[in-house]
Amino acid sequence: MRSHARFWFSAAILMIVCLNAPAMAGDVIAVKGKRIHTVSGRIIENGVVVCVDGKIAAIGDSATVVIPEGAQVHEAEVVLPGLIDVRTCVGLSGLLNASQDSDQIEGSSPLQPELRAIDAYNGKDELVEYLRGYGVTTIHTGHAPGELISGQTLIAKTHGNTIEAALIVDGRAVCSTLAETAKKTGKASPGTRGKQVAMLRQLLIEASEYRTKLAKKPVGRETKLEGADAKPSGSEAKPERSDAKPEPQRNLKLEAMAAVLDGKKALLITADRAQDIANALRLADEFKISLWLDSAAEAHELIPEIKKAQVPILLHPTMARASGERENLTFRSAAILKENGIPFAIQGGYESYVPKARVILFEAAIAAAHGLSRDAAIEAITLSPAKILGIADRVGSIEVGKDADLALYDGDPLEYTTHCTGVVIDGRSYPGEPH
Q: Are 161 and 194 in contact (CB under 8 A)?
A: no
Q: Does residue 192 share a domain with residue 57?
A: no
Is residue 175 located within the same domain as residue 258?
Answer: yes
Stronger pLDDT, 229 or 200, i.e. the higher one: 200
Per-residue pLDDT, averaged over 360-366, amounts to 98
* 257 and 366 fall within a common domain: yes
**Residue spans of alpha helices (H) in 133-185:** 163-166
**Looking at the domain assignment, is residue 73 inside a domain?**
yes
CB 84, CB 382: distance < 8 Å: yes
**How far is Cα 284 from Cα 3, in angstroms, rounded to an integer?**
40
Query: Are 365 and 405 in a shared domain?
Result: no
Chain-centroid distance, C-alpha 149: 17
Cα–Cα distance measured from residue 311 to residue 293, given in angstroms and rounded to the nearest whole number: 7
Q: Is the pLDDT of residue 165 over 90?
A: yes
Whether 113 and 16 share a structural domain: no
- List the CATH number of the domain containing 429: 2.30.40.10
Confidence of residue 429 (pLDDT cuts 50, 70, 90): very high
pLDDT(244) > 90: no
pLDDT value for 245? 64
Task: Say which residue, 145 or 237, is predicted with more confidence.
Answer: 145
Q: Of 157-161, 189-193, 215-219, 308-312, where does mean pLDDT reach its minimum? A: 215-219
**Residue whose C-alpha is closest to residue 359's, from 317, 323, 329:** 317
d(CA 170, CA 164): 10
Give the total number of structural domains in the chain.
2
> CB of 201 within 8 A of CB of 209?
no
Residues 389 and 168: beta-carbon distance below 8 Å: no
**Burial class (CB within 10 angstroms; exposed 0-12, middle 13-18, buried 19+) of 147:** buried
Range of the domain at 430: 1-81+397-435
Q: Is 217 or 407 the better-scoring residue by pLDDT? A: 407
In a shared domain, residues 260 and 324 = yes
Give 188's Cβ-side CA count (13 Å radius). 12
Q: Which range, 16-25, 232-241, 296-305, is most confident?
A: 296-305
71 and 121 housed in the same domain: no
**pLDDT at position 34, please?**
98
| Shared domain check, 408 and 323 | no
- The rounded distance, in Å, linking the Cα atoms of 55 and 121 is 26
Q: Give the residue among 431, 433, 366 at the shortest CA–CA distance from 159.
A: 431
Calculate the average pLDDT of the chain: 90
Lowest mean pLDDT among 100-104, 240-244, 306-310: 240-244
Residues 194, 267: one domain?
yes
What does the H/E/C string look like for 109-177? CCECCCCCHHHCCCCCCHHHHHHHCCCEEEEEEECCCCCCEEEEEEEEECCCCCHHHHEEEEEEEEEEE
Shared domain for 377 and 285, answered yes or no, is yes
Judgement on whether residues 36 and 171 belong to the same structural domain of the protein:
no
pLDDT tops 70 at residue 18? no
> Does a structural domain hold residue 66?
yes
- Outline where DSSP puts E strands in 178-235: 221-222
169 and 260, same domain (yes or no) = yes
252-294 tens-digit pLDDT: 999 999 999 999 999 999 999 999 999 999 999 999 999 999 9
Residue 239 above 60 pLDDT? no
Greater confidence (429 vs 355) lies with: 429
Cα separations in angstroms, 34 against 37, 55, 67 = 10, 21, 16
Model pLDDT, residue 21: 36
Residue 27 — very low, low, confident or very high, per pLDDT cuts 50/70/90? confident
The answer on pLDDT for 242 being more than 80 is no
Predicted local distance difference test score (pLDDT) of residue 9: 46
Asked if residues 407 and 157 have their Cβ atoms less than 8 Å apart, the reply is no
Across the range 22-36, mean pLDDT stands at 77
Phi and psi (nearest 5°) for 408?
Answer: -110, 135
Give residue 236's pLDDT. 52
3 state SS of 406: strand
DSSP β-ladder status, 266-271 and 291-295? parallel
Give the percent of the chain with pLDDT over 90.
80
Rounded Cα distance, 261 and 174, in Å = 11
Instruction: Supply the pLDDT for residue 434.
Output: 80
Please indicate, yes or no, if residue 226 is contained in any of the structural domains: no
- Assign residue 187 the CATH number of its domain: 3.20.20.140
Report residue 380's pLDDT band, with 50, 70 and 90 as the boundaries.
Answer: very high
For the cut 70, the answer to whether the pLDDT of residue 221 exceeds it is: no
Q: What pLDDT is recorded for position 5? A: 46
d(CA 278, CA 40): 33
Residue 228 maps to a domain: no
Rounded distance between C-alpha atoms, residue 369 and residue 332, angstroms? 9
> Considering all CA atoms of the chain, what is the largest pairwise distance in Å, rounded to the nearest integer?
94
Q: State yes or no: pLDDT of 8 exceeds 60.
A: no
